[in-house]
Structure 1
Amino acid sequence: MYGLSWSLRSKPDWQRKAADPKIRAKWREEAIEQAAKSDESGTARALTLLQIDYVLSELDGYVKIADNEKGIERACFEAIWYSDRLISEDVMRRLKIAASVLENVPDDKKDWHPGSNGQVLDLVHPSLYCVVYSRTHAYLPGKPRTADNFLPDGWISEKFCWMPSDFTVADDGSVSLASPYINNLHLRVHQPLYRVIEEILAGFIPMFERVLGDVNREDNGRLSWDNTGRLGGIQCIWGPGKEPPYPEGEPGSDEDEDEFLQKFRDAAEKVVPAATVYTGQLEERCKPVSLRGRTIQCIVKLANIHLTPEKPEYAGGSWHVEGMVNERIIASGIYYYDEDNITESKLSFRVATAGPEYHMQDDIDCMKLLYGMARESECVQEIGEVVTKAGRALAWPNLFQHCVSPFKLADATKAGHRKILALFLVDPTADPVVSATDVPPQQAEWAAEALEEAAVAERASALGGLSRELRDLVRKQFPASFMTLQEAEAYRLTLMEERTAFVADHTEKVFSFPFNMCEH
């Protein structure tokens, strides 16, 4: 049902079309035809007429929860929101100009992400000059900022933490930087980019408020269905209070026991879930959480993917959530601000699920029809994908794993690229994490430049009058107080190794849990 709904809402100008009875009737016919094909092929459970009608009537609810002024709409699944009009053309233009200062540097200064085959160019990345426990200097008055410690080993880093910046959200929704700087972004050199990031984050505030509202609610919004089998309270496809008749006799010579039993299950009466009439559930449940008048923490990332005739294809990413537990990232936002000469790419999502309750050992039919699951299926639900075209803003909760699909050059004889700005929102309901408010810039190169500039600029600083001997004495303190680029890059590699292990363990324990169909 989610898939049908999203396919309709992905159509251009879908709201106008959905209001036209003729077009809606055509959509209904097409959905019925597609359901018949699915039923014949057996590749997926076909939607019933009631389910199709529910999806069509629910479209009115999606219209009501949309912010048509900013173009904010629900995407392929609950808590995933997108907009193609969130950021103005002027802000997009200024972002491209400001980011180009980071791009147009000598080749030996470009920061190609380790392990990316020279395709991912990091402009601002939180893994570089991150917080390194027992190495990074920080001012932390009052109670230390700590992470929860009740989760599995390896989910909370004991070595590193991405460093957010603090931002103030005004009552009118505008955003201003509260920290002295954004990590890895020189304040004096990149002042125009700072302003653009503030404006874009302000645009994302209504999206994040909707994500948080969806995550925060107690009602999961699922349609209820109360048909149960012999064990009360457990959903079942067999007739009320019934079980499939157990066959008499023995399997024939040309069939095994499973085939023998399946014949009887096929002939038994089944009751499939039926949708109810849509009565406004979407509007009732959509209650954004306000971030106005608060200070939030956000981690900033700018990255490009570059393809060339020599490297014409991007292989795509892996399934993952952002960060580790001690970063407390609750929502992710990505603004796809530029692309050129690449094929369509999508961002896919999936969510971990609890294993369904069985009501009879090895009841393959019930589990397949109700949940699409078989023995040893992973308890995970793929919840859709969103096209990531230029100009699109996308936000979702960090409860979902996401994965970038492969793409390649549209014209293999020319270079192409895709550029993004990512904003990772730290949980505003939890204690703050160590941020750029607590930690001075760690770049030794920045400190050396500041020292030299102060020495030559008239009355620029008290250091300006220091002799070279005193400046050299100050510079000798740099290794203990700041990080060289080589040191920061070494820490980054160790951080990446740690997070690769975390992603694998988290995926195995949360997103790959097998469904066992035994009764014990």
Structure 2
Amino acid sequence: MSQPSNPPRRELAALSDSLPLKLPGFGFPLNQAHRWKVQSSSDGYVTNQELDGRQRALLLSLLDPVDLTGEFDEGAARRLIPLREIVMLRVMNSITDKPGWENKVFDTVITTKWKEEVMGREDIDFIDSMWNWALAELQFKTERFKETGTLMVYDSVVKSDTVIPESLKLALRAAVSVLENVPEEEKDYHPHSNDQVLDLVHPSLFPVVYGRTRINTDGTLGIQDGLAKAGSGEVLQVPPKEETKAGKNFMAMKYPYSQKFQWLPCDVQFTSSLAEETANQADSANPTDCKIISYINNLHPTSHGDLYGIIEQVISLSLPLWNMTLTAIKERDSYCRIEYTSVEYKDGYGSPRQASGEDRNDYELRWEEWSENSEKYELPSPRQDMKMPSEEVLVDLKRDYAETGLQVIVKLANIHLTPEKPEYNGGSWHLEGQLNEHICATALYYYDSTNITDSRLAFRQLSDPRAPDDDICYRQHDREWTDVVFDVNSNGPAIQNLGDVSCTEGRLLTFPNILQHRVAPFSLADPSKPGHRKILALFLIDPNIHIISSAHVPVQRKDWFEQMAPMDQVLGKLPQELVDEVEGNLEGEWVMGMKEAKKLRLELMKERKVVNNDCDKLLADTSFSLCEH
């Protein structure tokens, strides 16, 4: 079995009081991260430098109340999308799941049949101009799809069924099977999952624990260094409560940063030089473009060296999709298929006027009847110019971060269904991580699905709550048009459900952390047999900043240390009472046992549930406010 080796690294200053390393929670406050930017030092290590003034280097995050409320520019809120346009996106997404769609969209016989099916559906509102636009856009997207195998239908959500080759999928399955084939008592089912979600590698075990975790102060750690230096370093201090507050005094989500925990990413270097990258296509990727240079938390680098190489390849192949995802959120003006600037009424449905001599109460009754009639609105149609979306890649991770590299959090998890437990109830709307991690995007690779019904991942966005007043002309007292045109209540939260994506085997899916997502329920296809769904999840840290990673934190797992140096060899023939004392000190001082780690995991999960609930409350408070005019 191959083992990842330590790449050459420059040493940092040996003394902690002169350590030039600057990371959120170690060298500068957690809640000042937006004022810092990643840089590669002249000595060869990666750190952060402070920005001048009100510059902002970080990508938008819906976990940041400042972004959520739009203190900087428009914030994380997206364009308010007409319902008809959302329906167009859902139809296009469905068509692109059909095998050979990239050729079939040019076959008139097939597209005519598709049109009849769509237009005949009673659950959606679809007209000729919507179909014409959708078909033209799909035809436009075939060229890029044939070249790259990637496709974006929902804004910033990218899918591919061909980027990861079959051989790599099979290699991943084989390598992961070593983690799966353990005694039942050693299997780690995720808490509160009804023993259906099996965690193989999960960042909530052995994370950074402020006040408990040690941080290395005499150099950055390579993959094997993390093991060799287990227990070294100084204890990472608990950040002051004040440094976990949001930039403003928000009603909800006052403390978006954790004072207790941070998931631990690994560091990733690009193997190609910047000069080579410039000569290549902006969105090209080779399976060897990325090298993991510090250990993956909870994945032993010696026992699972082959899996490290496979994950490196998946990260490399995810880069073009992440580029598309991050480009979409960097563009302030998202692509618009249907414009809506003024509330229009159908002929004969204009607002009633009080007749001469009409009783005031009678007039108000007529007004209420008119107001409640949703049929009165003229629904918008696609633009006449039919301008296709830009495919320019504004973000290129290899080009833009060649010197500083990336940080990635890795998760491997299975969902297992049985005849006794044939249904998975799905998940809740959520974002990934907490603000300590600065996760900007996710890549999910569905590498194994057996005997389950269609599994889908749904997305929703925070839409611009100011759009109705700033961009749309409407009549005073008339509010029902928001429900009809945008499928949002004028007095409710500015949240729009975009749609969902099928999570078929072999699919790679990327999306940003400004979209909430939710796993939809699914069940056994054949209820008499077991089934499963297995994923590799990669959480990309905002590349504009580096956080505390496994390059700075020696291995914390007691069981790994014991594998490296069995306790009976270390302790020799000491009396049992001394052995007990040493083992107690070992676990309590500088490495964690599984019992402690699982207890801390429950605390972490509880804390993050509160944060997600607070985020939901803040989203609910971000409602439309139609002024009377």
TM-score normalised by length of structure 1: 0.85
Note the C-alpha offset of 1:55: 1.7
Partner of 2:440: 330
Q: 1:324 & 1:18 partners in 2: Cα distance?
A: 42
SS in 2 for 1:421: strand
Q: Which residue of 2 aligns with 1:289?
A: 396
**Contact 2:93/2:501 (CA < 8 Å) preserved in 1?**
no
Asked if 1:396 corresponds to 2:511, the answer is yes
Partner of 1:231: none
**1:127-206 to 2 correspondence within 5 Å?**
127-139=204-216, 149-150=246-247, 152-171=253-272, 173=286, 174-206=288-320
Pick one of 102, 105, 124 that aligns with 1:18.
105
The offset of 1:262, in angstroms, is 3.8
Deviations 1:287-336 (A, max 9, x none): 45232535100000001111112111111100001001110111011111
Aligned match of 2:547: 433
CA distance in 1, matches of 2:188, 2:264: 19
State whether residues 196 and 417 of structure 2, in contact with CA within 8 Å, keep that contact through their aligned partners in structure 1.
yes
Residue 74 of structure 1 aligns to which amino acid in structure 2? M
State the match for 1:60 in structure 2.
Answer: 139
Q: Show the counterpart of 1:80.
A: 157
Task: Answer whether contact 1:304 1:417 (CA < 8 A) is retained.
Answer: yes
Asked if the contact 2:462/2:619 (under 8 Å) is kept, the reply is yes
Query: 2-side partners of 1:116 and 1:186: how far apart?
Result: 25
Matched, 1:27 2:114: yes
Is the counterpart of residue 95 in structure 1 residue 142 in structure 2?
Answer: no
Residue 594 of structure 2 aligns with which residue?
A: 485
- Distance change >3 Å, CA 104–CA 250, structure 1 → 2: farther
Counterpart CA distance in 1 for 2:309 and 2:367 is: 66
1:92 shift after superposition: 1.3
Q: Is the 8 A contact 1:349 1:402 kept in 2?
A: yes
Segments of 5+ residues of structure 1 without an aligned counterpart are 39-43, 228-234, 457-462
Deviation (angstroms), 1:216 = 1.4
Q: Is the 8 A contact 1:103 1:123 kept in 2?
A: yes
Contact kept, 8 Å, 2:246 with 2:256, in 1: the verdict is no
Q: Is the 8 A contact 2:409 2:539 kept in 1?
A: yes
Q: CA deviation at 1:276?
A: 2.2
* Partner Cα separation in structure 2 for residue 264 and residue 247 of structure 1: 18
Q: 1:373 to 1:226 in 2, by over 3 A?
A: closer
* Residue type of the alignment partner of 2:173: K
Residue identity opposite 2:212 in structure 1: R
Cα deviation, residue 402, structure 1: 0.6
RMSD over equivalenced CA pairs, Å: 3.3
Residues 1:369 and 1:434: Cα distance change in structure 2 (over 3 Å): same
312 and 153 in structure 1: CA distance in 2 versus 1, 3 angstrom threshold: same
**Structure 2 length-normalised TM:** 0.71
Deviations 1:467-517 (A, max 9, x none): 666996986445211111111111100000001111111012125644444
Deviations 1:22-58 (A, max 9, x none): 3334434444444xx46xxxxx5x3443333222211
SS of 2:565's partner is: helix
Partner of 1:230: none
2:210 and 2:261 in contact (8 A); partners too = yes
Aligned-residue identity in percent:
35
Deviation at 1:518, TM superposition (A): 5.4
Task: Say if 1:191 and 1:259 are closer, same or farther in 2 by CA, change over 3 A.
Answer: same
Match of 1:315 in 2: 425
The structural deviation recorded for 1:183 is 0.2
| AA matched with 1:322 | E
- Which amino acid is the alignment partner of residue 562 of structure 2? A
Q: Are the counterparts in 2 of residues 244 and 265 from structure 1 also a CA contact under 8 Å?
A: no
Question: Which residue identity lines up with residue 102 of structure 2 in the other structure?
Answer: Q
Q: Could you tell me which amino acid in structure 2 is paired with residue 168 of structure 1?
A: Q
User: Which of 531, 534, 537 is the matching residue for 1:416?
Assistant: 531
CA distance in 2, matches of 1:263, 1:178: 60
SS in 1 for 2:91: helix
Counterpart residue number, 1:210: 324
Counterpart of 2:306 in structure 1: which amino acid? P
CA contact (8 A) 1:245 1:264 kept: no
2:353 alignment partner in structure 1: 246
Q: In 2 relative to 1, CA 511–451 (structure 1 residues): closer, same or farther, beyond 3 Å?
A: same
What code does the residue aligned with 2:397 have?
S
SS in 2 for 1:326: coil
Q: How does 1:353-372 map to 2 (within 5 A)?
A: 353-355=463-465, 356-358=467-469, 359-372=474-487
- 8 Å CA contact 1:237, 1:370 repeated in 2: no
Q: Name the CA distance, whole Å, in 2 between partners of 1:336 and 1:511.
A: 32
Equivalent residue of 2:214, what SS?
A: coil
Query: Structure 1 residues 285, 508: closer, same or farther in 2, change over 3 A?
Result: farther
Shift of 1:141: 7.3
Equivalent residue for 1:306, pick from 411, 416, 422: 416
- What secondary structure, in the 3-state scheme, does the structure 1 residue paired with 2:444 have? strand
Give the match's secondary structure for 2:588. Answer: helix
373 and 477 in structure 1: CA distance in 2 versus 1, 3 angstrom threshold: closer
What's the secondary structure of 1:483's corresponding residue? coil
Aligned residues: 489
Partner Cα distance (1:132, 1:286) in 2: 38
CA distance in 1, matches of 2:144, 2:602: 43
CA distance in 1, matches of 2:257, 2:372: 51
SS of the counterpart of 1:301? Answer: strand
Q: What letter corresponds to residue 304 of structure 1 in structure 2? A: N
Once the two structures are superposed, residues 127-157 of structure 1 have per-residue CA deviations (whole angstroms, 9 ceiling, x without a partner) of 0000001110012579x99989527423211
Give distance in 1, aligned partners of 2:331 and 2:128.
30
The code of the aligned residue for 1:442 comes to Q
User: Partners in 1 of 2:374 and 2:205 — Cα distance?
Assistant: 59
Matches within 5 A, 1:450-461: 450-452=564-566
SS for the counterpart of 2:192 is coil
Alpha carbons of 1:226 and 1:285: their partners in 2 closer, same or farther (altered >3 Å)?
Answer: farther
500, 503, 519: which is aligned to 2:612? Answer: 503
3-state SS of paired residue (2:131): helix
Corresponding residue of 1:347: 457
Structure 1 residues 29 and 417, CA, compared in 2 at 3 Å: closer, same or farther?
A: closer
Aligned equivalents of 1:239, 1:33: Cα separation in 2: 23
2:446–2:504 Cα contact (<8 Å) kept: yes
CA distance in 2, matches of 1:264, 1:202: 54
